[in-house]
């Protein structure tokens, strides 16, 4: 069965840096104007697991693309991609990665913001992916680990909190990282009703100390 359809191909061929895109069943080969051609593996699932992407690592592959915007990469699948030196993300992520000379170096903007700051934090020992939405933070000095759900929309609405609880439970803190607008009152109420802290980014950095 061919996974790569005309919709996916059209997304890449519409880009100004792309010469052509060709379907190869579960892969797409993308010829670029300034850089070498790349080969992306494609999956369409709500939960990206190792079992669902293992077949995509047959030969050259630069990026693993999951099509549903609400899809979530599980931690073990992310670890496999990292071990294989392959980029990963949704369709929008893959389109941004096409512009990179080496797509495997692409990191989602939320992760490129959050991960370095956490790893520099004096009260963080390690950071790892639970899945593409959640990070496990271990801390020194006997402080318990925390699971952070990362939300990067402009303003956190109640639907975002409900999605997080429905798809990514459990976690300790719902982190709204956009600095421009805080969570709505309905979002705060939904988080509190679920027994979850909901914090902005600066508040989260302070919370890691206790």
More confident residue, 58 or 19: 19
Encode pLDDT of 179-200 as tens digits: 887 889 999 999 999 999 999 9
CA–CA gap between residue 141 and residue 144 (Å, rounded): 9
Residue pair 147/136 in contact (Cβ under 8 Å)? The answer is: yes
How is the chain split into domains, by residue range?
6-105, 109-207
CATH fold for domain 109-207: Trna Endonuclease; Chain: A, domain 1 (3.40.1350)
In this prediction, residue 128 has a pLDDT band, given cuts at 50, 70 and 90, of: very high
Q: Which two tokens stand for residue 126?
A: 């390690």
CA–CA gap between residue 11 and residue 2 (Å, rounded): 17
Q: What is this structure's pTM?
A: 0.93
pLDDT of amino acid 1: 59
CA–CA gap between residue 137 and residue 147 (Å, rounded): 6
Residue pair 40/60 in contact (Cβ under 8 Å)? The answer is: no
């Amino acid at each position: 069965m061919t996974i790569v359809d005309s919709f996916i191909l059209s997304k890449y061929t519409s880009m100004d840096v792309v010469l052509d895109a060709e379907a190869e069943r579960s892969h797409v080969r993308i010829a670029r104007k300034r850089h070498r051609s790349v080969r992306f593996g494609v999956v369409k699932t709500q939960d990206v697991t190792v079992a669902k992407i293992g077949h995509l690592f047959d030969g050259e592959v630069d990026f693993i693309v999951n099509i549903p915007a609400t899809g979530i990469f599980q931690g073990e699948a992310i670890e496999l991609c990292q071990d294989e030196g392959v980029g990963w993300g949704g369709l929008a992520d893959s389109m941004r990665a096409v512009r990179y000379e080496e797509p495997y170096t692409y990191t989602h903007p939320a992760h490129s913001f959050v991960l370095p700051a956490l790893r520099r934090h004096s009260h963080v020992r390690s950071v790892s992916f639970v899945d593409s939405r959640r990070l496990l933070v271990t801390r020194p000095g006997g402080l318990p680990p925390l699971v952070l759900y990362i939300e990067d929309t402009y303003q956190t609405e109640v639907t975002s909190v409900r999605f997080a609880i429905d798809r990514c439970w459990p976690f300790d803190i719902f982190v709204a990282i956009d600095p421009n607008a805080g969570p709505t009152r309905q979002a705060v109420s939904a988080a509190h009703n679920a027994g979850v802290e909901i914090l902005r980014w600066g508040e989260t950095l302070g919370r890691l100390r206790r």
